[in-house]
Amino acid sequence: MTGAAHTYDQIVWGPGNAQSIAENKRQGKKSCTKPATAELGCVSPLLIVPGDWTDVELEHVAAQIAGTVTNNNSYNCVAGKVLIIDGQWDLKDKFIGCVEAALARVPTRNPYYPGSKDRYSHLQSAYQERFEPIDQPSQDKAHLQVGRVKGLLNSEVDSD
């Protein structure tokens, strides 16, 4: 199965609220007695190899990145979450602009996994001035926008 920990807990230990699920876990009382394995996501990096790219190549790769980030609201385990780009690449800023433009063309989506809004708020709080939501077309104020943390270095990553 795929999904966040909340989804797994509802299937294996639920249904119920957080308190009843915690009690079921404490008692070892599973609602699903069949063996279950789960993939609960990760932060997949997208490595960008610098080169003398044409505008068409920059835009093509940017569109591919926008697709992987927004597909299924980025709830796929393989959805790219972090762009790793050589800071000295001459086309870095142009490429980032292409990625932002590609993301801005994708409408926002409903954050249907439990806890999504809390994790999004935590990200915004943790990186305050450096967090920038991408201005995407939105059909609903409850939707979350794709965001960017500018200039994040490996030593600054919040493990929570």
pLDDT digit string, tens, across residues 58-74:
999 999 999 998 888 88
pLDDT at 20 over 90: yes
Instruction: Say what the pLDDT of residue 1 is.
Output: 62
- Tell me whether residue 102 is exposed, middle or buried, using C-beta atoms within 10 angstroms of its C-beta: 0 to 12, 13 to 18, 19 or more: buried
- The average confidence (pLDDT) of the chain is 85
- 154 confidence band (pLDDT: 50, 70, 90): low
28: region left, alpha or beta (phi > 0 left; psi from -120 to 50 alpha): left
Contact 82, 45 (CB under 8 A): yes
Instruction: Say what the pLDDT of residue 3 is.
Output: 62
Q: Where are the alpha helices (DSSP H) in the chain?
A: 5-12, 18-27, 55-70, 92-104, 116-126
Contact 138, 108 (CB under 8 A): yes
Joined tokens for residue 108: 């926002």
- 95 confidence band (pLDDT: 50, 70, 90): very high
Contact 113, 75 (CB under 8 A): yes
pTM: 0.71
DSSP 146: P
Distances (CA, A) of 94 to 57, 129, 152: 12, 22, 18
Q: Looking at residues 94-121, what average pLDDT do you find?
A: 88
pLDDT, greater one: 157 or 145: 145
